[in-house]
Structure 1
Amino acid sequence: MTTGEGLRAPYPGGTTMRALTIRQPWADAIAHGPKRTENRSWTTVYRGVLLIHAAAKPDTGDVTAARYQGKKPDARGAIIAAAELTDVHRPEGPYGCPCSTRWAEPDTYHWVLDKVIPLFEPIAAKGQLGLWHPAQDLLATVQADLTSTRPREGNCGHCQQPRPLFAASPDWLAPDLLCSPCWSRYAKARATGRFVDEDDAIANARTEGRAAANLRTILS
């Protein structure tokens, strides 16, 4: 796979890639915090891998909402994370907004993000307005970072515990970075083939593990 085809791991099936420039501290709130909704005055039909670019100039307005517990590297003028843009919508209609998050603002388009993976090191790049196409050399550098087997720091995508995290093998359709214990449960369930998705896999493995532990207790 070439970089022009998009990142396959940890985003299987991706065929395109775009970048979005976001001012600090909002960019860090996505890359290193819990922010998964980006508010924009405009929409897009694009869905797929989205590189999070921290703008050179910070937001000088009210950024109280961006305060969170966790790392605050405050990189400027650089790609700092990758995510998947899964949906864009406005908080309108008979059913209201599906976003149950404090990050969603009224009268804006809500860009819903998933599978956020912070880079090990910020990659310097000049931002642009709107969605922009990263250059091939930039894509290659990002690809090398995202496919590294080094553990990343953060909260596990399943148990939410702050532990060293690991990405999926390229052929595994797992949506999150997981800690070692959760990956062990996932791998065990995946080997049996008895699951629908990641949550189901881990739940099945945990149930089987408890059943085995109970059996050992009864037999001992």
Structure 2
Amino acid sequence: MKALTLRAPWPFAIAYLNKRTENRDWDPRTAELMGLPWILKAGEPIAIHGGTPPKRGKNKGWREFEAGFEAMVEMAGGMLTPEAEAYLKGVMDSGPMQLEHFILPGIVAVVTVTHATRGTPLDDPWAIPGQLHLLLNPVFTLPTPVQCAGSQGFWTVDEETEYQVERQIARIPVPKTGVTLQDWYA
């Protein structure tokens, strides 16, 4: 199983807020080196991994997280999935809401990258113009994140971690895309 590590709060947005477009600043050569053509052709699920949590304070990582959090709230438009409502209810039952509750390290979801495009998908507030958009569908949120180290770009999940992820997944339908390299170079 391949995985893609994201900075907080974007794993939360994919797992709980219907973020179905992942933005990458990759040019076509970088995307090819990262293995995107293979991932599109294979149509196999990939894991969404939350990277190292930023430390609260006046450091660059925390400022980037706060800015991302504000953007996430605006893009979500107040729409919560049933999974998000259950997660937030559980958090609120355990005490006051903190920004740290939106930082999810480890593998939090499994998705299929069905398409990649540089054009902005219609009616998608998550797509950043000019970037490469990875369209994610379906998305399966894991009941319990699986802790593991990640890496930049697409990387291969070790066997034990993959086993822990697969134990939480009953079955994910995998649509075959048939996308070629030319489809996403445009």
TM-score for the superposition, normalised by structure 2:
0.63
Size of the aligned set, in residue pairs, is: 131
User: Could you tell me how far apart the structure 2 residues matched to 1:98 and 1:74 are?
Assistant: 26
User: Could you tell me how far apart the structure 2 residues matched to 1:111 and 1:84 are?
Assistant: 10
User: Could you tell me how far apart the structure 2 residues matched to 1:25 and 1:107 are?
Assistant: 21
Kindly indicate whether the alpha-carbon contact (under 8 Å) linking 1:75 and 1:122 is maintained by their aligned counterparts in 2. no
Query: Of the candidates 135, 150, 170, which is equivalent to residue 158 of structure 2?
Result: 135
Cross-structure match for 2:137: 114
Percent identity over the alignment? 30
Query: Of the candidates 80, 83, 97, which is equivalent to residue 108 of structure 2?
Result: 80
The AA in structure 2 aligned to 1:143 is E
User: Could you tell me how far apart the structure 2 residues matched to 1:99 and 1:113 are?
Assistant: 15
Give deviations 1:4-61, integer Å, cap 9, x for gaps.
Answer: xxxxxxxxxxxxx310001111110000111100000123212231101011134632
The AA in structure 2 aligned to 1:56 is T
Kindly indicate whether the alpha-carbon contact (under 8 Å) linking 1:29 and 1:35 is maintained by their aligned counterparts in 2. yes
User: Could you tell me how far apart the structure 2 residues matched to 1:174 and 1:139 are?
Assistant: 17
Whose Rg is larger? 1
Cross-structure match for 1:23: 7
TM-score for the superposition, normalised by structure 1:
0.54
Q: Secondary structure at the match of 1:119?
A: strand
- Unpaired segments ≥5 residues, structure 2: 55-60, 89-100, 176-186
The AA in structure 2 aligned to 1:20 is L
User: Could you tell me how far apart the structure 1 residues matched to 2:158 and 2:107 are?
Assistant: 12
Kindly indicate whether the alpha-carbon contact (under 8 Å) linking 1:77 and 1:126 is maintained by their aligned counterparts in 2. no
Over 3 Å counting, the alpha-carbon distance change for 1:76 and 1:34 in structure 2 is: closer
Cross-structure match for 1:54: 50
- Unpaired segments ≥5 residues, structure 1: 1-16, 92-96, 148-167, 176-220
Kindly indicate whether the alpha-carbon contact (under 8 Å) linking 2:114 and 2:137 is maintained by their aligned counterparts in 1. yes
User: Could you tell me how far apart the structure 1 residues matched to 2:6 and 2:154 are?
Assistant: 11
1:145-184 → structure 2 map (5 Å cutoff): 145-147=168-170
Root mean square deviation, CA, Å: 2.2
